[in-house]
């Protein structure tokens, strides 16, 4: 097991690049398997989550050669997937499991989706029930909450003559994973798939489907995929570059905004408007940030350079549709709020309770461990910032975003901070500590326990 040892030091300075966006990476790897011919995907994160998707699709017949963030994929086409030899292990990746549930629901073979202990605790009803409504034979197992479906997910085959039906659904919560699973299942359906969300979640799947020629139309927070309008019914091979992950960049942005004297640039970051809630929240805090457009990347994803300066921060309130556009960044936003003099409030973020950890409860504990004033709400947090922080010894709870948020706090806390159980960081941000060190931070990795 690894841990981080963090000490406050001088300013962060320099130019950085973060790993490729893992949400976009998942989808690019999956569409490469469903395309015909050899596709090329550059800029992958190298994280374990994306590897779970590639391994899963490889078990169903696609071929992958992946090295140094570049994947060469020999796809099998929409109708070329085959039954895997045994269960498909999704590791820690909820995205892998939910997207594959959509793909597998339409197949003529059955399979089982399993995951690690953390993933097994994550709810799947929001995917399972709409897939069942269109004729899929899919089920989870009982768990902590009555009526909920939890992994493993078992998917039985469609029998001869069965096809998934048309689907019109209005989701209760904006979720790109649920929306993507339903759109993917719709590629094999006998009628349109129409999805309306309360607010628009990240739209990477829609952008890629359009780029590959699928008959999809989007109207604000609603999208419709109608396979009857798809004459070719095929995905051509493609060459895409995955932009840098804004969710990973957020940790560097927060650190530079908090550590006195810091000034950094982060190049090649994806700035899809459905993902930039964190940058909007920074404007609300009057942070010294600038976004410089740099063209497009995979599936018409906009890319930019982020320029960040340290400066004073104002308290703010976030909630509503902004939360859907920054759900992964809320923990590090809470860390950043400790540097704003006054009361910052996070609301409408109850979705965080069913991530890798209960991120509301866990982040409140972490902030208090550093001497912060944090109050846990049912759907968020209030943080009274501006007081000095002290070093802490905290646990990640196996959650990569909690671990990295604690490191950011350690960079401005008095004394030496220890963050335990940080192997999970490799799921999304391999090289996190080394990149911070390259900018001047005092962050070290070390082995503890039986691995030392």
What confidence score (pLDDT) does residue 449 get? 76
CA distance 373 to 389: 10
For 239-264, what is the mean pLDDT? 97
pLDDT in tens, 6-49: 999 999 999 999 999 999 999 999 999 999 999 999 999 988 89
**Four-point Cα dihedral 427, 151, 62, 429, nearest 10:** -10
pLDDT in tens, 36-82: 999 999 999 988 899 999 999 999 999 999 999 999 999 999 999 99
CA distances to 62, 266, 303, 442 from 263, in Å: 44, 10, 20, 16
Domains plus CATH for the chain? 2-20+243-451 (3.65.10.10), 22-232 (3.65.10.10)
Is 451 a residue whose pLDDT tops 70?
A: no
Name the residues annotated as catalytic.
Answer: 328
CA distance 345 to 47: 32
CA distance 4 to 433: 8
pTM surpassing 0.95?
Answer: no
């Amino acid at each position: 097991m690894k841990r981080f040892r963090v000490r406050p030091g001088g300013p962060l300075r320099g130019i950085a690049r973060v790993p490729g966006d893992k949400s976009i990476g998942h989808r690019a790897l999956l569409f490469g398997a469903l395309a015909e011919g050899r596709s090329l995907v550059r800029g992958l994160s190298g994280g374990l989550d994306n590897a779970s998707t590639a391994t899963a699709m490889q078990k169903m017949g696609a071929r992958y050669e992946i090295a140094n963030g570049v994947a060469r994929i020999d796809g099998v086409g929409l109708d070329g997937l085959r039954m895997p030899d045994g269960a498909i292990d999704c590791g820690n990746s909820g995205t892998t499991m939910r997207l594959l549930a959509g793909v597998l629901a339409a197949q003529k073979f059955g399979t089982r989706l399993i995951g690690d202990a953390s993933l097994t605790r994550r709810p799947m009803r929001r995917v399972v029930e709409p897939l069942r409504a269109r004729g899929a034979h899919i089920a989870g197992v009982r768990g902590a909450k009555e009526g909920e479906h939890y992994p493993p997910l078992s998917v039985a085959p469609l029998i001869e003559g069965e096809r998934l039906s048309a689907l019109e659904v209005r989701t209760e919560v904006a979720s790109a994973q649920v929306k993507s699973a339903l759109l993917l299942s719709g590629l094999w359906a006998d009628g349109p798939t129409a999805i309306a969300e309360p607010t628009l979640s990240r739209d990477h799947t829609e952008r890629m489907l359009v780029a590959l020629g699928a008959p999809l139309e989007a109207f604000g927070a609603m999208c419709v995929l109608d396979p009857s309008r798809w004459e070719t019914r095929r995905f051509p091979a493609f060459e895409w570059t995955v932009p840098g992950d804004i969710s990973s960049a957020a940790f560097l942005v927060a650190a530079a905004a908090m550590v006195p004297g810091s000034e950094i640039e982060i190049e090649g970051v994806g700035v899809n408007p459905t993902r930039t809630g964190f940058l909007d929240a920074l404007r609300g805090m009057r942070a010294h940030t600038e976004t410089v457009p740099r063209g497009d990347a995979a599936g018409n994803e906009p890319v930019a350079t982020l320029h960040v300066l340290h400066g004073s921060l104002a308290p703010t309130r976030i909630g509503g549709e902004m939360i859907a556009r920054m759900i992964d960044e809320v923990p590090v936003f809470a860390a950043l709020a400790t540097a704003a003099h006054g009361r910052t409030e996070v609301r409408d973020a109850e979705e965080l309770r069913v991530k890798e950890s209960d991120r509301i409860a866990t982040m409140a504990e972490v902030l208090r461990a550093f001497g912060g004033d944090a109050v846990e709400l049912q759907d968020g947090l209030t943080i009274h910032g501006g007081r000095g922080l002290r070093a802490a010894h905290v646990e990640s709870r196996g959650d990569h975003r909690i671990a990295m948020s604690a490191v950011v706090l350690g960079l401005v806390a008095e004394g030496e901070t220890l963050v335990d159980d940080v192997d999970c960081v490799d799921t999304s941000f391999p090289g996190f500590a080394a990149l911070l060190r390259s900018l001047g931070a005092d962050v070290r990795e070390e082995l503890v326990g039986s691995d030392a």
